[in-house]
Amino acid sequence: MMAGMDETLLRSFLETADAGSLSRAARQLGLSQPSLTAQIQRLERHLSAALFTRHGRGVSLTDAGHALYPRARRLLDELRATEEAVRREQVAGERTLAVGAIPTVAPYVLPAALQRLRLRDASVRVALHEDYSAVLAHKLQDGALDVVIAALPYAFEPLETEVLGADALVVAVPASHVAARAGRITLAQLREAPAITLDPAHCLGEQVDGFCASRGVSPSVVCRSAQLATVLELVGAGVGVSIVPAMAAVRHNTPNCAYVPVVEQPLQREIVAVWRRGGVLSPAARVFVDCVREVVRGW
């Protein structure tokens, strides 16, 4: 961080910008208003530019303030992420890798990827956080995670993404369904069948909803579940049909379910590694990502 632009000054600037008031920002920072004013003035002198316009209701950003705001936010985020990474690496003298993964990928990819990682570098300790894409993206930006394994088309802006491979989406049908015997299913059959879907909070649920809407398929949803395993159990019980990842189909290959493609309607999702914008994966994270890529491409 440049001399004259230390962490304290940037935090004071951001707090004042967010609060829109010097007095309110001072209270939130635990400072006197004169002390906060002095800090802002010091930063303005360093930049040779006024950052705020004072008015009766408080303060508002100048053009220079607007230009500084995202850069200041990014600098502090990077500092917080660095501090968190250093703290994690002190745990038990091991390197700790904080990994996030979405529930529709984690159980099918991570066990095999972690086995490969242990063979390559047994000193890396992995702390796993499984959650929805939106939650994991927020944790990445806060510096609580090093890397996330997720799926497109979820919009991971403004984060870095690297495509690791593709996973086909297939339709899970009861073994007694006519599509199971045919080895494929038509859009007309999808329209007619009761549907079991994932909660829209899952990016997969959102993707499937988009696929159906774009093709004029509006099935009657008889059940929504937060767990993919529950969806597949309900399909096997004959409750309805569902669009699911092929990697899940491989693991839930029971006599009660069949997995078929949609006729002439290939559908897939891309599995990606995600990390903070402008950041660089640590050597341990890079090895882990390479292990995940090998697993995904081996399906």
- The domain that holds 284 is classified in CATH as 3.40.190.10
pLDDT of 92 higher than 50: no
Check: CB of residue 62 under 8 Å from CB of residue 52. yes
pLDDT at position 90 over 60 = no
Same structural domain for residues 174 and 258? yes
pLDDT at 95: 66
Answer whether residue 2 is part of any domain.
no
Judgement on whether residues 51 and 81 belong to the same structural domain of the protein: yes
Residue 1 domain-assigned? no
Q: Rounded to 5 degrees, what are φ and ψ at 257?
A: -120, 150
290 domain residue, yes or no: yes
CATH code of the domain in which 224 resides: 3.40.190.290
Please say if the pLDDT value at position 163 is more than 90: yes
The pTM score is 0.66
Which pLDDT score is estimated for 5?
63
Q: Are residues 18 and 149 both part of a single domain?
A: no
* Same domain assignment for residues 67 and 159: no
Do both 175 and 156 map to the same domain? no
- What are 168's two structure tokens? 């086909």
Strands 160-174 and 195-198: unpaired
Q: What is the mean pLDDT of residues 96-123?
A: 92
Asked if 291 and 259 sit in the same domain, the reply is no
Tell me if 38 is assigned to some domain. Answer: yes
Domain membership flag for residue 119 = yes
Using the 3D structure, point to which of 60, 87, 114 is the last residue of a domain: 87
One domain, residues 29 and 54: yes
Distance between CA atoms of residues 290 and 270, nearest Å: 15
- Looking from the CA of 282 toward its CB, the CA atoms found within 13 Å total 17
In the chain, the number of structural domains is 3
Whole-number Å distance between alpha carbons of 8 and 31: 12
| Closest CA relative to residue 109, chosen from 285, 296, 298, 284 | 296
**pLDDT confidence bin for 266, thresholds 50/70/90:** confident
Domain presence at residue 58: yes
Domain residue limits at 50:
7-87
| Per-residue pLDDT at 3 | 45
On whether both 137 and 154 belong to a single domain, the answer is yes
Q: Are 130 and 107 in contact (CB under 8 A)?
A: no
Residue where one domain finishes, among candidates 87, 120, 144: 87
Residue 174 shares a structural domain with residue 256: yes
Is residue 4's pLDDT more than 60?
Answer: no
Average pLDDT in the chain: 86
Helices (H), the chain: 7-19, 22-29, 33-47, 63-89, 106-120, 133-142, 178-182, 187-192, 203-214, 228-236, 246-251, 283-297
Alpha-carbon distances of 121 from 44, 118, 230, 257, 291, rounded to whole Å: 48, 5, 35, 39, 11
- Do 152 and 289 share a domain, yes or no? yes
The predicted structure's pLDDT at residue 77: 78
- Percent with pLDDT over 70 in the chain: 92
Instruction: Quote the distance between the C-alpha of residue 66 and its chain's center.
Output: 27
Instruction: Give the number of other CB atoms < 10 A from CB of residue 253.
Output: 11
- CA angle 161-210-155, nearest 5°? 20
- CATH number for the domain including 77? 1.10.10.10
CA gap 164, 150 in Å, rounded: 10
Same domain, 264 and 225: yes
Do 77 and 50 share a structural domain? yes
Range 137-151 average pLDDT: 90
Residue 117 reports pLDDT greater than 90: yes
| Cβ-based neighbours of 120, under 8 Å, separated by 6 or more | 287, 291
Q: Of 53, 87, 121, which residue is a domain's last?
A: 87
